[in-house]
Structure 1
Amino acid sequence: MVTEAKVESRAVLTLPLCLEGAAEAQHGGPNLLQRILSLFKNVRPGSDLTRFQLPPVFNMPKSHLQCLGESVYCIGDDMLKKCVNGKTSLERFTAVVGWSISTLRPLIFGVAPFNPILGETHHVSADTLHVLMEQISHHPPVSALHATDEKDNIEIIWCQHPAPKFYGTKVEAVVHGKKELKLLNYGETYVMESPKLLIRFFPVPGIDWVGDITIRCEESGLQADLCFRTKSFLGFGGSYRSVTGKIFDSSSLKTFYDLNGHWDSTITVKDSEEGNVTVIYNAKEAISRFNTPTVKDPKGLWASESAVVWGEVNQGILNKDWEKAREAKKGIEERERELLRERKAKGETWVAKHFTVSHTKEGGWECSPIHKWVPPAPIALL
């Protein structure tokens, strides 16, 4: 049995991913690239990487569940407040587009977060926004997120299923699942997709978000079509981390704004009639200068909390004690396999604690939160 004292002592939280942090921590050079490619020497092009196990030297000290949560609760410029304060449906929709782009964070080439264990949770509060996540499937990896703000009447529901595949010179991860932002005061629900994550090894190593996505609001009929681009394979064509698109009425097809910029700097919209240009997203203001979350209520920590589950591994990585990190990670993986064998022997099916899980006809995943409001968390971002 895990005691409260043991749970508290095992919790290790680290600085959230941010704009300047990602730049400072970028890894490059032939040694790192050679080590990465050596991992894939027995992997065929097109292979599914969801079961691929990285040694701790290639892990950042946090799980994917924490990275997903940080994209919602770590925000310097209060983008959600702008969504609520919009006076018209078009103003609110434009602010939602900016917020959606803000959830994309620069990642670090050469390292990846842990694949969360089944039932792992991450529960954090940032002011009046309370965020709760749960890993509802391990193979395939599926994460569920529920965030609420009772003060501003906001709800976010996000079911994410990344599917990374290896293609020789790159890894491409299609991010399945939908993200919903509900502005309850206006009865508006915004549904948005996620671009693909591209990790390129040659000719210049790097990470970028790419592909076409849509953001739409059924109640207002507004829609945004966005295109995320990166440089071509040889680095001549395209624009690194660029975003282009338009905001329009899905019924009349009338365009209100043309959108342009870069998701790691600024995004602007240009009024289609008057030509006025407005900045709707500034990455330097939105995803910079974060503090490390703090455990405010040690007794409220669950044993399933990400910072507890991976605490020993995190400490090993931070101390560069790779043997300790490796042994701790191996212990977590072996325990997961043991629990799976026990469930199979008893004929039991694992059931999520905080979400109702269903499958779509297309083979996707959907999740619905069990509770209407997320309670204040034992971990807070100050």
Structure 2
Amino acid sequence: MSTSQTVSEGSDEIQVVLTKPLSLEGDADADYKAPNLVQRVLSLFRNVRPGSDLTNFQLTPLFNIPKSHLQCFGESAFCFGKNLLQQSNNAESSIERFISVVAWSISTTRPPTFGLAPYNPILGETHHVSRGSLNVLLEQVSHHPPVSALHATDEKENLEFIWCQHPVPKFYGTRVEAEVLGKRQLKLLNHGETYTMNSPKLMIKFLPPRVDWIGKVKICCQETDLESELCYITSSLLGRSGLHSVKGKIYQSSSMKTLYEVDGHWNSTVKVKDIDSGKETIIYDAKEVFSELKTPIVKDLQGIWPTESATVWSEVSKGIISKNWAKAREAKSSVEDKQRKLAKERDSKGETWVPSHFTVSYSKEDGWGCLPIQERVPPAPIVVPL
């Protein structure tokens, strides 16, 4: 179910725990789930007022999967069966590239598991992974509020993407909705094209229990005069026909002329319909994208940073995997207590924490922004087998 590798540095022992990526079924290895999960989840929110911001809501390890939010965020970039990024870069025409980028954007919508959540990353936590020539680096650049930054470069394909993610979860009585703020950029450098996009909201419904993505996503490319509007839709009440739906259009920015209609489901297939010819084409197949997802492995144990997610949370993950809940709670408290101590020390010295790999900005108009310090992401000590 998981891989665990250890390296000793002097008297210190570094643990690295890496687990399988989320599949189409969410956490495929959720055999460690506590019993009566739905009742436990409902009991969590018994004393929470509707409309409350859950950003700082604390979960016990009973409700955690053995990985960090930073790792899950990264998986959407480097865990895939079909390389839609390569497909986008190799397409000959601008409209073909745009359609492929739409498909890639949909592929980053990963299915979480109801009732279980990753760990909240600590300030300065990192996750550095390579898959072939694609190198991905993430850093938690703010803890209150939680903001994650991602930078990925592929020298072979000559592409780059930069994401900034700031989730804001709120409780609405029968559901939790997490608005995912922050801009995402994909640059196809061979073509001089930059694509900007946002993320849909994550919705957790209690009765009946389910997880889905909802809301609008807009994808723009100024260089090609193309835009897309996608709407993620879920079913109402007991109906299931609308679950996981994606509908939208691709159009010219200047004339607003619709070129293609988009329709399908993000967990199965999505197709586009050419408005002029009426021809329909499947542009996204979730089974292809999520096929044969492989667990990352440690290639260079000496290169693992102390801030690596798989190291920071290793003892907690080991406790969850073995269902040793007391050990998991103790290890999680240890991580959180250490962070509170470091924060107090900084405050007492009047110091401000500064990210190691990104520069961060914030404004009321644009929200949080993150720019990488390095032009290229170096190869990582953790790799995804090809």
TM interval, shorter chain, is over 0.9
Map 1:1-382; keep pairs closer than 5 Å: 4=9, 9-20=14-25, 22=27, 25=30, 31-202=36-207, 204-232=208-236, 234-236=237-239, 239-362=242-365, 364-382=367-385
Aligned to 2:238, what secondary structure does the other structure show?
A: coil
> Could you report, residue by residue, the CA deviation over 1:60-105 in whole angstroms, capped at 9, with x for unpaired residues?
0000000000000001101001110111110100000000000011
Task: Quickly say closer, same or farther: Cα 1:44–1:363, change in 2 above 3 A.
Answer: farther
The alpha carbon displacement at 1:5 in A equals 6.6
Other structure's SS at 2:89 match? helix
Q: Is the Cα–Cα contact under 8 Å of residues 26 and 109 in structure 1 kept in the other structure?
A: no
Verify the 8 A CA contact 1:62 1:310 in the aligned structure 2: yes
Structure 2 distance, partners of 1:5, 1:284, is 45
CA contact (8 A) 2:8 2:14 kept: no
- Consecutive unaligned residues of structure 2, counting only runs of 5 or more, are 1-6
Per-residue Cα deviation, 1:177-216 (whole angstroms, up to 9, x for no partner): 01100000111000001000000001x1000000111101
* C-alpha distance in structure 1 between counterparts of 2:12 and 2:108, whole Å: 30
Structure 2: distance between partners of 1:304 and 1:32: 31
**Deviation digits for residues 324-356 of structure 1 (CA, Å, limit 9, x no counterpart):** 000000001101110110010000000000001
Q: TM-score, structure 1 length as denominator? A: 0.96
What is the Cα-based RMSD across aligned positions, in Å? 1.9
Whole-angstrom CA distance in 2 between matches of 1:27 and 1:33: 15
Deviations 1:242-289 (A, max 9, x none): 001010001111111111000000010011111111111110000232
> Which stretch of the first structure deviates more once superposed, 29-38 or 284-293?
29-38
Amino acid paired to 2:50 = P
Identity, in percent, stands at: 60
C-alpha distance in 2, partners of 1:29/1:212? 34
The residue matched to 1:352 in structure 2 has which SS?
coil
Question: Which stretch of structure 1 is more off in the superposition, 207-216 or 41-50?
Answer: 41-50
The alignment partner of 1:235 has SS state of coil
SS at match of 1:284: helix
Give, in angstroms, the shift of residue 364 of structure 1: 1.2
How far has the Cα of 1:37 moved from its partner?
1.4
Q: Which runs of 5+ in 1 are unaligned?
A: none
How far 1:237 moved relative to its partner? 7.6
- Which deviates more from structure 2 when the two are superposed, residues 342-351 or residues 11-20? 11-20
Q: Are the aligned partners of 1:28 and 1:205 in contact in 2 as well (CA < 8 Å)?
A: no
Q: Which amino acid aligns with 1:358?
A: S
For 2:65, the aligned partner's letter is M
Shift of 1:361: 3.4
Return the offset for 1:114.
Answer: 0.4
Give, in whole Å, the separation in 2 of the partners of 1:6 and 1:218: 55
Partner of 2:36, secondary structure, is helix
User: Which AA in structure 2 matches 1:98?
Assistant: A
CA distances 1:149-171 after superposition (whole Å, capped 9, x unpaired): 01111101000000001111100
C-alpha distance in 2, partners of 1:258/1:168? 35
Q: Which moved more, 1:237-246 or 1:313-322?
A: 237-246
- Contact 1:20-1:288 within 8 A present in 2 as well: no
CA displacement at 1:13 relative to structure 2 = 0.4
Give the residue type in structure 2 aligned to 1:279.
I
- How far apart are the structure 1 equivalents of 2:117 and 2:192? 38
Where 1:145 maps in the other structure, the secondary structure is strand
Number of residue-to-residue matches in the alignment: 379
Does the C-alpha gap of structure 1 residues 185 and 336 become closer, same or farther in structure 2, counting only changes over 3 Å?
same
Q: Is the 8 A contact 1:65 1:306 kept in 2?
A: yes
